[in-house]
């Protein structure tokens, strides 16, 4: 039987993802967690720095009775030329699942094709599916449902935005993206959507009646040399309290973090009364625990 991978939302239904979100909320509410993943081992292969993804997966499986091992890509034989396929086969014989954070989504594809255990995308250049699970969980936590209707994305159309595009199709909400010319979403990802995504020409139209307002840094990891260039092009794309006044009266603000205050968000935005970013960050732990259960126990 082939393992169930989590590289993006392909192969997952609205019902299955909702079940994971609901389980995440349930786990968050428990005073005593079950040892549901006892004796399960999780490997983490990271080519990029990480705070929330690494800590949430490591601590998450530990709290459910399992264990983890962190594997920096520079410490693996892949760094000396071992084929990804060989590494995948070896680790599959020793671990129960693996999380990979990489600058190259193709590495995830090759690894999963040669893996007999679940492979989880901990962030790639193309998608960040774990993050949107936490975003959806946060919305339900504060609204009691997943009737989002509309999300406004302001800024660079990056990997997080791509996962929002996938989620919009599955959960049938509208996604309005307001970005500078030349920073539109990935064309292949856009082709897969179901008329739920609109490229807004004005900030006001993107924000109108949005129940979630979200953004991400203008400069991704290892692209810091573009900071000044992007700062010029992204002038006017900062999310501030004024944006929330244009959105739905009960809208929440989310940011996957880390945040660059004074760039994609104003200095005071993370502390605004609409901001749920700290709950969102914590929810990475709970929803990924639920994801691990889903992949390892089904």
Domain residue limits at 293:
14-128+284-297
For the four alpha carbons of 282, 283, 288 and 289, in that order, the dihedral sign comes to positive
Q: Determine the average pLDDT of the residues in 166-181.
A: 97
Catalytic residue among 5, 23, 52, 128: 128
Residues 191/230, Cβ–Cβ less than 8 Å: no
Residues 142/283, Cβ–Cβ less than 8 Å: no
Instruction: Establish if 1 belongs to a structural domain.
Output: no
Catalytic residue among 243, 256, 280, 288: 256
3 by Cβ neighbours in 10 Å (0-12 / 13-18 / 19+) ranks as middle
Mind listing the pLDDT tens digit for each residue in 185-221?
988 899 877 789 999 999 999 999 999 999 999 986 5
pLDDT confidence tier of residue 222, bands split at 50, 70 and 90: very low
Tell me the Cα Rg of the chain: 19
Token code pair at residue 228: 């000044």
Mind listing the pLDDT tens digit for each residue in 226-283?
666 777 899 999 999 999 999 999 999 999 999 999 999 999 999 999 999 999 999 9
**Whole-angstrom Cα distance, residue 189 to residue 83?**
28
Are 102 and 137 contained in the same domain?
A: no
Catalytic residue among 105, 255, 284, 286: 284
Residues 57/30, Cβ–Cβ less than 8 Å: no
Catalytic residue among 156, 203, 216, 255: 216
Q: Is 216 a catalytic residue?
A: yes
Residues 100/45, Cβ–Cβ less than 8 Å: yes
Are 100 and 177 contained in the same domain?
A: no
Q: Determine the average pLDDT of the residues in 34-44.
A: 98
The domain total for the chain is 2
Q: Percent of the chain having pLDDT more than 70?
A: 97
Instruction: Establish if 48 belongs to a structural domain.
Output: yes
Are 108 and 237 contained in the same domain?
A: no
Are 175 and 213 contained in the same domain?
A: yes
Are 199 and 211 contained in the same domain?
A: yes
**Whole-angstrom Cα distance, residue 273 to residue 276?**
8
pLDDT on residue 192? 79
Residues 31/298, Cβ–Cβ less than 8 Å: no
Instruction: Establish if 2 belongs to a structural domain.
Output: no
Q: Is 226 a catalytic residue?
A: no
Are 73 and 174 contained in the same domain?
A: no
Instruction: Establish if 104 belongs to a structural domain.
Output: yes
Q: Is 80 a catalytic residue?
A: no
Instruction: Establish if 197 belongs to a structural domain.
Output: yes
Q: Is 130 a catalytic residue?
A: no
Are 180 and 206 contained in the same domain?
A: yes
Instruction: Establish if 185 belongs to a structural domain.
Output: yes
Are 273 and 166 contained in the same domain?
A: yes
Are 68 and 203 contained in the same domain?
A: no
Instruction: Establish if 64 belongs to a structural domain.
Output: yes
From the list 293, 223, 221, 207, the residue with the least C-alpha distance to 256 is 221
**Whole-angstrom Cα distance, residue 296 to residue 118?**
8
Are 292 and 213 contained in the same domain?
A: no
Mind listing the pLDDT tens digit for each residue in 40-91?
999 999 998 999 999 999 999 999 999 999 998 788 888 788 999 999 999 9
Instruction: Establish if 7 belongs to a structural domain.
Output: no
Catalytic residue among 23, 52, 96, 131: 131
Are 182 and 206 contained in the same domain?
A: yes
pLDDT confidence tier of residue 223, bands split at 50, 70 and 90: low
* Backbone torsions φ then ψ of 63, nearest 5 degrees: -65, -20
Bond preceding residue 57 cis, omega within 30 of 0: no
Residue 273: give its domain's CATH number: 3.40.50.1370
Q: Is 131 a catalytic residue?
A: yes
Are 273 and 199 contained in the same domain?
A: yes
């Amino acid at each position: 039987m082939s393992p169930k991978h989590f590289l993006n939302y392909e192969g997952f239904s609205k019902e299955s993802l909702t079940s994971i979100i609901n389980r995440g909320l349930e786990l968050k509410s428990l005073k005593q967690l079950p040892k549901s993943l006892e004796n399960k081992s999780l490997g983490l292969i990271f080519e990029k720095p990480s705070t929330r993804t690494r800590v949430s997966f490591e601590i998450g499986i530990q709290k459910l009775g399992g264990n983890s091992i962190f594997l920096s890509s520079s410490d693996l034989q892949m760094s000396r030329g071992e084929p990804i396929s060989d590494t995948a086969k070896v680790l599959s014989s020793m671990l129960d699942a693996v999380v990979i954070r990489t600058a190259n989504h193709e590495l995830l594809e090759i690894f999963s094709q040669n893996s007999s255990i679940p492979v989880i995308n901990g962030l790639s250049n193309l998608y960040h599916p774990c993050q949107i699970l936490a975003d959806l969980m946060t919305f339900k936590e504060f609204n009691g449902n997943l009737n989002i209707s509309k999300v406004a994305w302001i800024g660079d159309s990056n990997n997080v935005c791509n996962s929002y595009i996938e989620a919009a199709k599955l959960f049938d909400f509208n996604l309005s993206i307001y970005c500078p010319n030349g920073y539109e979403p990935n064309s292949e990802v856009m082709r897969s959507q179901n008329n739920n995504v609109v490229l807004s020409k004005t900030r006001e139209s993107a924000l109108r009646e949005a129940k979630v307002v979200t953004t991400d840094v203008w400069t991704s990891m290892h692209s810091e040399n573009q900071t000044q260039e992007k700062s010029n092009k992204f002038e006017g794309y900062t999310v501030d309290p004024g944006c929330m006044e244009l959105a739905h009266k009960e809208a929440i603000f989310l940011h996957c973090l880390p945040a660059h205050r004074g760039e994609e968000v104003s200095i005071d935005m993370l502390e605004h009364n609409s901001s749920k970013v700290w709950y969102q960050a914590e929810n990475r732990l709970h929803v990924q625990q639920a994801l691990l259960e889903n992949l390892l126990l089904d």
